Structure 1
């Protein structure tokens, strides 16, 4: 009777040891996966930090360039407006000069002088 119980106990013991070994093996596998993912997480956080710094630098540069472009747009618009005023003034001046030249030509035309006599 005792030897039968002893044999059963031995069987249970063997199975328990086997189960514990399987659980330990599974735990080792999960632990290995955890380490891999922790390493990947660290790598990704490092990449994010680098990309965040790059993004910040690009945003600063972009803001400066946008301000620069806006300033250039304003300067171009003001210059073009001033140039158009110069063109209009030149046109007006030319008209006045042509009129005056015409008047002078009539006044100094000998035929015009003879007509007055």
Structure 2
């Protein structure tokens, strides 16, 4: 099976887009980083190392130290697709992150975004 093109995109190319989306709505880079760390288990230093080595999205999620078990609580539609219905694991992780950044940009409280 051919992997979608998004898997080969560098996380360092997508990351600034997440920050821009958040900042346009009055949110911060620190909040974006917190969401990414919560979802993936990366420390801030590990996150910055991934950005520096320009890992593709597939590698970024494959090397995540500890994917948060609460991520299964992330529900809803992103890019016209219901997140909980996505079968392919890597695509599901990418869409989880997209959904969390969307929630941030929509003004949702961090406690709710991080499923506390």
User: TM-score, length-normalised on structure 2?
Assistant: 0.18
Q: Which is higher, the Rg of structure 1 or of structure 2?
A: 1
* TM value normalised by structure 1: 0.18
